[in-house]
Amino acid sequence: MGSLEVPFNPLSLAIGAEATFVARAIDSDRAGLAQVLTAAAKHRGASFVEIYQNCPIFNDSAFDAIKGKDADESIIRLVDGAPITFAGGTKGVMRDGSTGELSIVDVDEVGIDSLLVHDAHRADPGLAFSLSRLTDPGVLRRAPIGIFRDVERPAYDDLARQQIETAGRPEDPDASMQALLRGAETWTVL
């Protein structure tokens, strides 16, 4: 009968952990998948990419809503610098002024200028997180696809190298760990 737990959202988890590159792609969308994976490979630091891929054994037909004939109604393609639209440009994503939550609206009713413009390079992860929550838990009715977040931050290995280099050349030679360990047999702790 399956798990009773509400499935967690991997993108929300990655964005909440302040990941600097977060994206989603569909295995059967070769152009979109190639674009996302190329950007992930070029990103300095760790990249997180969720790929919707059908498995005929464990989740057959789980992605029919975004792969079938109604895919245009379900896929929200994220294009950096462009208004967030889908369903042939007839629907869009807008932030509610009073609650701050995102909502799906008819573009004809609100106008294209009222829609959110996607900014994958935004330092604040709030918009990317909100976009990741547009996918309903347990039921795939719509799915933002593309790069949610792509920000620059020093990578862990760069910071570790810098820290080792700094520790290796202290301004005060007596403060270095090597000087302490190779020093007197006894230490006076103040």
The string of pLDDT tens digits covering residues 39-80 is 999 999 999 999 999 888 887 877 877 887 777 888 999 999
Instruction: Determine the pLDDT at residue 145.
Output: 95
The string of pLDDT tens digits covering residues 126-154 is 999 999 998 866 556 788 999 999 999 99
Mean pLDDT of the residues in the chain = 87
The pLDDT of residue 164 is above 70: yes
Average pLDDT of the segment spanning 113-135: 93
Q: How many residues does the chain have?
A: 190
Domain spans of the chain, in order of start: 10-181
Rounded Cα distance, 124 and 136, in Å:
23
**Token pair in block for residue 128:** 């990317």
Which residues touch 130 (CB under 8 Å, ≥6 apart)?
95, 101, 102
